[in-house]
């Protein structure tokens, strides 16, 4: 009973301070708005309009049509024309263009012999039919750009000769569920909830406690009857509310601005989110028992945040990562929440079907609180 009263005292104090701290309060809203817009608009794994250069050694009508076809794919945009290979390579090195298309002198001849054109001319030797029409020189350091240019490898050539395209029957039929239009934002926005919560929840709690120690408030608090656990619960409770506000804003704006569907049950969404918020707050508490000043708590937050962005499945699919990275990812609460939130929001999975991730988060909270209150001694040394 008096324990509850003490928790209430800490909680109310925390809310009053938060209300006065305009900057922090503004950050709570602004950070995520900016991130949402940045990530929502900027992150696009579909590469388009790569600036490329051309070395056209044939200068024929055919080569001009070929260029138009390349541009029509929207993958590449011809920005430069070079007269020599040296010039082209220099521009590639200077990153003025990301790839160079070299059209050889005998391009007409090569096109005519190309099997995809299917002119059925006098039998050509194997060597001749296996010769490509032109060559791409790509800055391969960025694998996404390289992959985009590679996708042009089998660009159909039939149109070049005004022949109907030879559309063969595909080996597989692919039906795209949950995100049929293949918009990146649909996958990014729910993931962004996990990333923003990871950042703000860990940062705010760890800083809130470390600040108290830095300013000397802790010396007074520990001479009062307040218990470690009461202090911690009282301190993190207001942030649960703030976390809930953040999720509402991100998904709300994501829904309106980026047409992200909310397919799942809102109650299920609330349940998994509450678990994750509490897990992140617990992590912040643990950090606060290790860091001695706010700079350190900030550094430790970033130390957790970076792998959460890179390994949680937010940027790259979990399944594609090396096994070692998967182990690290499994240790991060963000990875588990990433699965849960995408599951509920995009695929309408009932949380009863995702209990391993739920259980993991619950276990993390219990263990984390135990570790934090063990480390948080009511002593100065």
Partner 1 sequence: MTEAVIEAQDVSRHFGQVQAVQGLDLRVERGLIYGFLGPNGSGKTTAIRLLTGLLGPTRGKINVLGLEIPRDADKLRRHIGYMTQKFSLYDDLTVGENLDFIATIYGLSSHARRARIDALLQTYELTDKVDRLAGSMSGGQRQRLALAAAVLHEPELLFLDEPTSAVDPENRRDFWEKLFDLSAQGTTILVSTHYMDEAERCHKLAILETGVKRADGSPEQLMSAMGAKVVELAAPGLRQLKKTLIALPEVISAAQLGARLRVLVSDRVADPIAFLRNQADVPADSELSLTRASLEDVFVTSTGKRAAS
Q: Which is nearer to partner 1, 1 or 267 (CB)?
A: 1
Q: Is 5 in the site for partner 1 (CB under 8 A)?
A: yes
Instruction: Write down the least CB distance from residue 287 to partner 1, Å.
Output: 22
d(CA 68, CA 62): 10
- Residue 45 or 217: which CB sits closer to partner 1? 217
Could you tell me where the beta strands, DSSP code E, fall in the chain?
50-56, 76-82, 99-103, 135-138
201 and 153 Cβ atoms separated by less than 8 Å: no
Choose between 157 and 210: whose C-beta lies nearer to partner 1: 210
350-363 burial code (b ≥16 CB/10 A, e <16): ebeebeebbebbee
If one asks whether residue 16 binds partner 1 (CB under 8 A), the answer comes out as yes
Q: Does 48 bind partner 1 (CB under 8 A)?
A: no
d(CA 29, CA 306): 21
Give how many residues touch partner 1 by CB under 8 A. Answer: 27
Instruction: Please check whether residue 194 is in contact with residue 342, taking contact to mean a CB–CB distance below 8 angstroms.
Output: no
Residue in the structure block whose two tokens are 């950050």: 27
Binders of partner 1 among residues 222 to 241 (CB under 8 A) are 222-226
Q: Contact between 352 and partner 1 (CB under 8 A)?
A: no
Q: Which of residues 115-174 bind partner 1 (CB under 8 A)?
A: none
- Closest contact distance (angstroms) between CB of 379 and partner 1 is 6
Report in angstroms how near the CB of residue 207 gets to partner 1 at its nearest: 14
Contact assessment for residue 204 and residue 288, using Cβ atoms and an 8 Å cutoff:
no
In sequence order, the β-bridge partners of residue 138 are 99
Q: CB nearer to partner 1: give 9 or 155.
A: 9
| Dist. CA 236–CA 5, nearest whole Å | 16
Residues in the chain: 381
Nearer to partner 1, 12 or 347 (CB): 12
Beta carbon nearer to partner 1, 222 or 309: 222
Site for partner 1 in 186-215 (CB under 8 A): 215
Alpha helix (H) residue ranges in 265-316: 266-290, 294-311
Q: Between residues 164 and 225, which has the closer beta carbon with respect to partner 1?
A: 225
Q: Is 217 in the site for partner 1 (CB under 8 A)?
A: yes
Q: At what angle do helices 333-347 and 294-311 cross, to 10 degrees?
A: 50
Per CB under 8 A, residues contacting partner 1 are 2, 5-6, 8-10, 12-13, 16-17, 20-21, 215-220, 222-226, 378-381
């Amino acid at each position: 009973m008096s324990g509850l009263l003490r928790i209430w005292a800490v909680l109310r104090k925390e809310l009053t301070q938060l209300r006065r701290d305009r900057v922090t309060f503004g950050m709570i809203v602004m950070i995520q708005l900016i991130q949402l817009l940045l990530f929502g608009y900027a992150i696009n794994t579909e590469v388009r309009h790569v600036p490329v250069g051309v070395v056209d050694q044939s200068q024929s009508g055919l080569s001009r049509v070929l260029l138009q076809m390349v541009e029509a794919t929207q993958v590449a945009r011809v920005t430069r024309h070079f007269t020599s290979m040296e010039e082209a390579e220099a521009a590639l090195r200077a990153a003025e263009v990301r790839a160079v298309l070299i059209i050889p002198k005998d391009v007409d001849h090569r096109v005519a012999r190309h099997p995809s054109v299917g002119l059925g001319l006098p039998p050509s030797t194997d060597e001749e039919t296996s010769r490509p029409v032109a060559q791409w020189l790509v800055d391969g350091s960025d694998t996404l750009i390289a992959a985009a240019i590679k996708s042009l490898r089998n660009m159909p050539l039939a149109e070049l000769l005004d022949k109907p395209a030879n559309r063969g029957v595909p080996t597989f039929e692919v039906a795209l569920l949950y995100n049929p239009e293949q918009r990146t934002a649909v996958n990014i926005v729910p993931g962004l909830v996990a990333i923003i919560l990871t950042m703000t929840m860990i940062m705010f709690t760890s800083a809130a406690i470390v600040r108290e120690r830095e300013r000397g408030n802790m010396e007074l608090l520990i001479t009062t009857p307040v218990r470690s656990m009461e202090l911690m619960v009282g301190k993190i409770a207001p942030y649960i509310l703030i976390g809930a506000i953040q999720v509402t804003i991100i998904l709300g704006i994501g829904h309106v601005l980026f047409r992200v569907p909310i397919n799942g049950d809102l109650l299920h969404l609330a349940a998994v989110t509450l678990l994750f918020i509490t897990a992140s707050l617990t992590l912040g508490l643990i950090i606060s028992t290790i860091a001695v000043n706010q700079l350190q708590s900030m550094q430790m937050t970033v130390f957790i945040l970076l792998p959460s962005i890179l390994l949680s499945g937010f940027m790259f699919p979990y399944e594609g990562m090396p096994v070692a990275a998967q182990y690290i990812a499994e240790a991060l609460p963000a990875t588990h929440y990433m699965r849960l939130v995408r599951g509920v929001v995009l695929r309408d999975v009932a949380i009863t079907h995702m209990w391993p991730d739920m259980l993991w988060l619950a276990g993390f909270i219990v263990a984390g609180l135990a570790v934090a209150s063990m480390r948080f001694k009511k002593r100065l040394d």
